[in-house]
Structure 1
Amino acid sequence: MGSQKTFKDLFLHKANELLMRRENRKFEIDLFNKYAVEFFISYFSDLENLKKLKGMAHKGIYFYGGCGTGKSLFFEILEEIYKSYQNPALRIKTVHTIDLTDQYMSQLSNPKKLAPNDDSLYSKYNKGNIHFEDLGAESKLNHFGNSVEIMSDLIQLRYSTSRRVSCRTYISTNLSPDEARKRYGVRVYDRLFEMFNFIPLNGDSRRK
């Protein structure tokens, strides 16, 4: 699995296997996702080609586009590859942003276990390689009159962590970078450029 060709073959095999099992369709490469597929494969297997694609290996990936364009699918395929090969370099934990909201609310509703200002949720997701699925789908929370944007806090926290240790963040979202700026503010928007390779996925929904 050291060469790009080998990894590409494996990626496409797992992609077809996953989609046939789940949706009875094959993985299609077209003008809308060709660059994204090449970038993703190069990111994990061919750093020289990644440089040609203007990618940076020390940054994570920010996939953005409309619903059903395949943003989260890339990480599902990677998880299938990891299940077969158990290569630590391919292990990326996926966390849905809505689940983060539920976890935060559960934290606050259990005062015997955690104090209201306990930061254990942030500590839990502060390190390691994590894919935050569906950025922007999470709700804004209100805690004692204060507005809480969990993903805004986590992005800034992981930005600080990544400056000290290896800590890559991956995002799939319907929000373009500019829409993320409107949702999370200029401070978060500015950090995105140091943290991510931005990869658009356009076109209509691929879901049948």
Structure 2
Amino acid sequence: MTSQNPFKKIFIDKANELLLKREKRNFEIDDDNKYAVDFFISYFSNAEKLKTLGGKSHKGIYFYGGCGTGKSLFFEILEEIYKSYQNPGLRIKTVHTIGLTDQYLSQLSRPKQLAPNDDSLYSKYKKGATHFEDLGAESKINHFGNSIEIMADLLQLRYSESRRALCKTFITTNFSPEEARNRYGERVYDRMFEMFNFVKLTGSSRRK
């Protein structure tokens, strides 16, 4: 196993290290996450294997499933690997969607800064390999009667950017693609199929 793909050993070792330190448990691979683990590892280390799993390397990944199934953990592990090896291909910035809402509200509250149509926050996050954690947890913003969906706007901006340059988007969420359509609309939903490989994590919460 490990002789064929050294990255898999690195991934599992880092996963065990992280979980033993934080939760006193080992990383488990079972029927609920085996495909997701194989997909994620292949995505960053084996393009040919990724193809056999139905993945496309030019797209990002949309991880979805119930609470506690380990979606965000994949990117925490990747961050630990990057810290050790400093491989630019493994550098993905994580942004929590709730934090985006807080940033936008904070900017709106500053006098003489950021009019409602100012795109400076959007400009900050529309490029680069970025993981948006907990899509759907962010609140809609109502500002002078206008309803603002930050993530709908960002996903459309990043879609446009990805058609011109390398701009991969990664999502972890409890929302299925259909639930994302209900929240963000048909326009965003349609673009998602060009932007993402969809990977579902099943099973109950692994948190103990």
TM-score by shorter chain over 0.5? yes
Alignment gaps of 5+ in structure 2: none
* Structure-2 residue corresponding to 1:121: 121
Is residue 84 of structure 2 the alignment partner of residue 84 of structure 1? yes
After TM superposition, the structure 1 = structure 2 runs for residues 167-186 of structure 1, keeping only pairs within 5 Å, are 167-186=167-186
Residues 108-117 or 19-28, more deviating? 108-117
Structure 1 vs Structure 2 CA RMSD: 1.0
Give the percent of matched residue pairs that are identical in Structure 1 and Structure 2: 77
Q: Within 2, Cα distance between the matches of 1:33 and 1:129?
A: 24
Contact 1:4 1:45 in 2 (8 A): no
Q: Given residue 25 of structure 1, which amino acid in structure 2 is its aligned partner?
A: R
Q: Deviations over 1:132-185 (max 9, x none)?
A: 000000000111101000000000000000000000000000000001011111
Q: Describe the SS at the equivalent of 1:72.
A: helix
* Structure-2 residue corresponding to 1:131: 131
Q: Describe the SS at the equivalent of 2:55.
A: coil
Alignment gaps of 5+ in structure 1: none
Deviation at 1:4, TM superposition (A): 5.8
* Structure-2 residue corresponding to 1:30: 30
Contact 2:116 2:143 in 1 (8 A): no
* Structure-2 residue corresponding to 1:8: 8
Contact 1:131 1:170 in 2 (8 A): yes
Q: Within 2, Cα distance between the matches of 1:193 and 1:69?
A: 23
* Structure-2 residue corresponding to 1:207: 207
Contact 1:4 1:46 in 2 (8 A): no
* Structure-2 residue corresponding to 1:42: 42
* Structure-2 residue corresponding to 1:64: 64
* Structure-1 residue corresponding to 2:100: 100
Q: Within 1, Cα distance between the matches of 2:126 and 2:95?
A: 12
